[in-house]
């Protein structure tokens, strides 16, 4: 899906596009629900994740990353795209990373799990705010996830700019700085969600995996509790995504951590992406 004031589309080659007519019907239904029960359907935040969930998501054991690598016998995970001969994206002398998504978007909801676990290997979140994707999107209604809205992240390896441009109900939420907007438009001209730019070198341009992989899980706790089990299909989807993203971050980060970048899981991702890591 794209930014406000344009026809919004969701990126995900794994899932067929929903027809325009169906989207209009869903929007109409959602408006009706909003009118009937605004208190339950207009939330943009659902509170902070517990410390247990925070630790499970941001401190995934290295053995799990290495056991999963980028393979799964049951889940198809789309790798990021790598572009060569692009001008490096930097912010205040540091490599720059952009996340561009929306809270309602089920493709973002699924992909965001891997993004957060990967980012946690290179820096620190102050906390995680819980979020569910739109209740009415058939591509993956009510997918438990987190939001970057009102969450701070710091890293000594790169600068992250994370933007949720629409809330759970498709209303404008965060604005893009002009410099970020120009990169989104250049490298993601249809402005679809989710999009991630790692130093103008490695890009997420579609859903990492089918959001329905997480169908049936109603809470963040139910997903996070599996992240120490490399045999879980949910873990395989999330951690494969995280290893791919970790490889991209290693490729652009300033003096990246060897413990991450030399790990077998990240090396497998780098090999698949044909990236040379420090």
Calpha distance 159→98 (Å, rounded): 9
Higher pLDDT, 242 or 11: 242
Mean pLDDT of the chain: 88
pTM across the whole model: 0.87
Alpha carbon separation from 169 to 181, 191, 233 (Å, rounded) = 22, 18, 29
What pLDDT, on a 0 to 100 scale, did the predictor assign at position 130?
Answer: 97
What pLDDT, on a 0 to 100 scale, did the predictor assign at position 46?
Answer: 84
When pLDDT is averaged across residues 171-189 and rounded to a whole number, the result is: 97
When pLDDT is averaged across residues 196-201 and rounded to a whole number, the result is: 98
What pLDDT, on a 0 to 100 scale, did the predictor assign at position 244?
Answer: 98
Q: What percent of the chain has pLDDT over 90?
A: 83
C-alpha count within 13 angstroms, C-beta hemisphere, residue 110: 33
The sign of the torsion formed by the CA atoms of 141, 147, 149, 150 equals positive
Residue 84 has pLDDT above 70, yes or no: yes
Q: Do you find a cis peptide bond into 142, omega within 30 degrees of 0?
A: no
Per-residue confidence at 183, pLDDT binned at 50, 70, 90?
A: very high
Calpha distance 271→68 (Å, rounded): 15
The alpha helices in the chain, defined as continuous H runs, are 20-36, 38-41, 51-58, 62-68, 106-119, 178-187, 220-224, 233-252, 258-261, 264-273
What pLDDT, on a 0 to 100 scale, did the predictor assign at position 20?
Answer: 35
Q: Please name which of 232, 228, 234, 273 lies closest in space to residue 250, comparing C-alpha atoms.
A: 273
pLDDT in tens, 88-137: 999 999 999 999 999 999 999 999 999 999 999 999 999 999 999 999 99
Residue 166 has pLDDT above 50, yes or no: yes
Calpha distance 188→195 (Å, rounded): 7
What pLDDT, on a 0 to 100 scale, did the predictor assign at position 24?
Answer: 35
Beta-bridge partner residues of 162: 99
What pLDDT, on a 0 to 100 scale, did the predictor assign at position 278?
Answer: 84
pLDDT in tens, 2-60: 333 333 445 555 444 333 333 333 333 333 333 333 333 434 458 999 999 999 999 99
Give the rounded distance of the alpha carbon of 256 from its chain centre: 21
Q: Report whether 155 contacts 140 (CB < 8 A).
A: no
Per-residue confidence at 187, pLDDT binned at 50, 70, 90?
A: very high
Q: What percent of the chain has pLDDT over 70?
A: 84
What pLDDT, on a 0 to 100 scale, did the predictor assign at position 240?
Answer: 98
Calpha distance 277→266 (Å, rounded): 10
End-to-end CA distance of the chain: 35
Q: Please name which of 99, 117, 139, 132 lies closest in space to residue 12, comparing C-alpha atoms.
A: 139
What pLDDT, on a 0 to 100 scale, did the predictor assign at position 45?
Answer: 56
| 8-state DSSP, 142 | T
When pLDDT is averaged across residues 63-92 and rounded to a whole number, the result is: 97
When pLDDT is averaged across residues 262-269 and rounded to a whole number, the result is: 98
Calpha distance 253→122 (Å, rounded): 9
The ranges assigned to domains in the chain are 48-273
Beta-bridge partner residues of 90: 95
Q: Report whether 244 contacts 196 (CB < 8 A).
A: no
Calpha distance 180→182 (Å, rounded): 5
Q: Which residues of 68-86 are buried (b: 16+ CB within 10 A; e: fewer)?
A: bbbebeebebbbbebeeee
């Amino acid at each position: 899906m794209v930014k406000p004031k344009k026809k919004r589309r969701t990126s995900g080659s794994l899932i067929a596009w929903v027809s325009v007519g169906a989207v209009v019907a869903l929007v109409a239904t959602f408006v009706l629900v909003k009118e009937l029960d605004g208190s339950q359907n207009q939330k943009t935040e659902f509170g902070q994740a517990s410390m247990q969930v925070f630790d499970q998501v941001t401190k995934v054991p290295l053995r799990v990353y290495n056991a999963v690598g980028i393979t799964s016998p049951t889940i198809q995970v789309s790798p990021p795209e790598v572009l060569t001969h692009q001008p490096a994206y930097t912010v205040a002398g540091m490599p720059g990373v952009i996340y561009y998504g929306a809270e309602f978007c089920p493709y973002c909801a699924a992909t965001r799990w891997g993004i957060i676990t990967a980012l946690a290997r290179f820096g620190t979140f102050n906390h995680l705010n819980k979020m569910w994707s739109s209740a009415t999107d058939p591509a993956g209604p009510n997918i438990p996830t987190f939001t970057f809205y009102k969450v701070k992240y710091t890293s000594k390896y790169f600068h992250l700019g994370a933007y949720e441009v629409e809330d759970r109900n498709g209303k404008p939420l965060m604005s893009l700085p002009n410099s970020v907007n120009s990169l989104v438009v250049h490298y993601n001209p249809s402005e679809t969600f989710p999009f991630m730019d790692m130093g103008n070198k490695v890009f997420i341009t579609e859903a990492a995996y089918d959001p329905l992989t997480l169908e049936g899980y109603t809470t963040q706790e139910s997903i996070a509790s599996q992240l120490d089990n490399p045999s879980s299909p949910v873990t395989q989807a999330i951690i494969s995504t995280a290893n791919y993203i970790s490889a991209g971050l290693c490729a652009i980060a300033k003096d990246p951590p060897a413990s991450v970048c030399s790990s077998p899981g990240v090396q497998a991702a780098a090999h698949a992406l044909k990236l040379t890591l420090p």
